Structure 1
Amino acid sequence: MDRHTPIALVVEDDAAVRDLATAVLEESDLGVIACESAEDALSVLESGDVTVALLFADVRLPGAMDGMTLARDVGRRWPGTQVVVTSGAAHEGALPDRAVFMQKPWRALDVLVQAERATLKAKAA
């Protein structure tokens, strides 16, 4: 994957759900990198080796940082990144600016719509 290919960064601790999200997003025009923690995702983002067009993150993640905190951080530091947060629990609290909430179980079509939005945004940048 070269640094000019826009990436979908999947952040999910449940391996089956992470694999499913990865498989769905591989059907889009985005490359895909999967992580199981917010800290791993930040390492990818901070490396500067790839352009992350879409962050697709679960709200509940292992480690010191949850998905909402990650989403806020990404929205602030990488404002061009499309942010989607997902959860099996009902959404509570304020979403970060421009972030989208997707209730689990999400539909593949809804994920692909967000990927298309991220792709268009990345191409326009």
Structure 2
Amino acid sequence: MCILVVEDDTLIRMILVEELVDAGFSVQEAGSGDQAIASLETLGREPQVLVTDVHMPGEHDGLALASHVRSRWPTVPVIFTTGRPDALQRLEKLDARQVLVRKPYVPNDIIACIQQLGAAPAGLSNDTGGA
């Protein structure tokens, strides 16, 4: 299992993926919801956590992607990220396995959420360093 990071901003995605790998996670990445779904269908394995931007180009934004993932694997935790205030209205009812992180964030914010959701690799301490 791994963390699936889906972010259309290449720089944000690269930094987050690098920090997650440095923290001991296995990471799969995609630049859109459509790419993520195609990758999941090809690999056919459950992600440990889905980290997705809410607004992305293509047929599947972050909400549609999360719905797709959870229809197949209902217990997968989802971390939504957004820098747009209008997205907050679409995310009113998050369940206990969903978290919203507002942009701008630092990778340690995401790592803390992963730990909070109980999906950190064995031995990962609360002090992860990084950017």
Q: TM-score by structure 2 length? A: 0.76
Q: Percent identity?
A: 31
Change (3 A) 1:95 1:8: farther
Unaligned runs of 5+ in 1: 1-5, 121-125
2:63 corresponding residue in structure 1: 68
2:125 corresponding residue in structure 1: none
For the 8 Å contact 1:71–1:96, the answer to whether it is kept is no
Which of 61, 72, 78 is the matching residue for 2:73? 78
2:39 corresponding residue in structure 1: 44
How far has the Cα of 1:15 moved from its partner?
Answer: 0.6
Which of 89, 93, 97 is the matching residue for 1:92? 89
Aligned residue for 1:52, secondary structure, equals coil
Aligned residue for 2:8, secondary structure, equals coil
2:18 corresponding residue in structure 1: 23
AA aligned opposite 1:99: Q
Q: Which has the larger radius of gyration?
A: 2
Query: What is the aligned residue count?
Result: 115
Distance 1:80 1:28 in 2: 23
2:126 corresponding residue in structure 1: none
AA aligned opposite 2:19: V
Distance 1:28 1:82 in 2: 18
How far has the Cα of 1:95 moved from its partner?
Answer: 4.5
Deviations 1:7-26 (A, max 9, x none): 11111111111111111211
Deviations 1:74-120 (A, max 9, x none): 22321232111101112222345331111001132221123332236
Q: By percentage of residues, which structure has more strand? A: 1
Distance 2:42 2:119 in 1: 20
Q: CA RMSD in A?
A: 1.9
Distance 1:26 1:54 in 2: 14
